[in-house]
Amino acid sequence: MDITWYLVLSALLFAVGVSGVLLRRSPLVILLCLELMLNAGNLALLAFSRSLGNQDGQVFALIVMVIAACEVVVGLGIIVAAYRRRIPLNVDDLRSLRG
């Protein structure tokens, strides 16, 4: 089985995710793009797993999904909390960690 196309797709998805994280300012969209990057990684894992006939990759993908779900819960929670407190939902305005 040739995994080149799967990996190309995974790389493209990853690149879309990275550019979204780097370019967009809305935390919600950044979170979505992060999910995109994680799932690009998942795709690569699954592709390798199939190609090598080893089931470990699939298990990893499942774990990544679980973690991604948790992360989304926390992330969305923060976003909702920020929205309720009328904090601007723009990452460029949230600079209180500046050294």
Partner 1 sequence: MSATSYGWLVLAFPLAGTLIVGLGWRWLAGRTAGWIATTMIGLAFAASIGALVQLLGDPVDARQHTSSLYDYASAAGLDIKLNVLVDPLSVYMCLIVSGVSMLIHLYSISYMTSDRGFNRFFAYLNFFVFSMLLLVLAGNIVLLIVGWAFVGFASYALISFWYRRTTATRAGMKAFVINVVGDVGMVLAALFIFRDLGTFDLLSIFSRAQDTFHTNQGVVVAICCLLLVGAFAKSAQVPLHTWLPDAMEGPTPVSALIHAATMVTAGVYLIARFHPLFEIGLTAADIAAFVGLATLLIAATIALVVTDLKRIIAYSTMSQIGYMVMGVGIGAYSEGLFHLMTHAFFKALLFMAAGSVIGAMANRQNIDLMGGFRKAMPFTSAMLLIGALALAAFPLTSGWFSKDEILDFAAYRGGFYVIFTVGGYIGALLTAFYAFRIGFRVVFGEPCEEARELEQGHIHHAEPENPATGEPEDTDVGFPGPSHQIAEREWPMKIAMSILGFGALFAGFVQIPGVDDVVHRFLHGSFLDSKLYEQGPSTTAAYHGLLIGGLISVLGIAIAYYAYLRNRGWTAALQRRFPWAHDFLERKWYFDEAIDVLVVRPALAVGRWSNSIFERYVVQGLVVAVTDLVRGANAGVRGVQSGYLRSYALLLVTGFAGLGLYFLLQSS
Binding site residues, partner 1, CB under 8 A: 18, 21-23, 25, 30, 91-92, 94-99
Nearest distance, CB of residue 45 and partner 1, angstroms: 16
Nearest distance, CB of residue 55 and partner 1, angstroms: 26
Closest CA to 7 of 47, 60, 42: 47
**What is the Cα–Cα distance from 20 to 33, expressed in whole angstroms?**
6
Nearer to partner 1, 25 or 55 (CB): 25
Contact at 8 Å (CB) between 78 and 88? no
Nearest distance, CB of residue 4 and partner 1, angstroms: 17
Nearer to partner 1, 58 or 72 (CB): 72
φ/ψ bin of 94: left (φ > 0), alpha (ψ from -120 to 50), beta (otherwise): beta
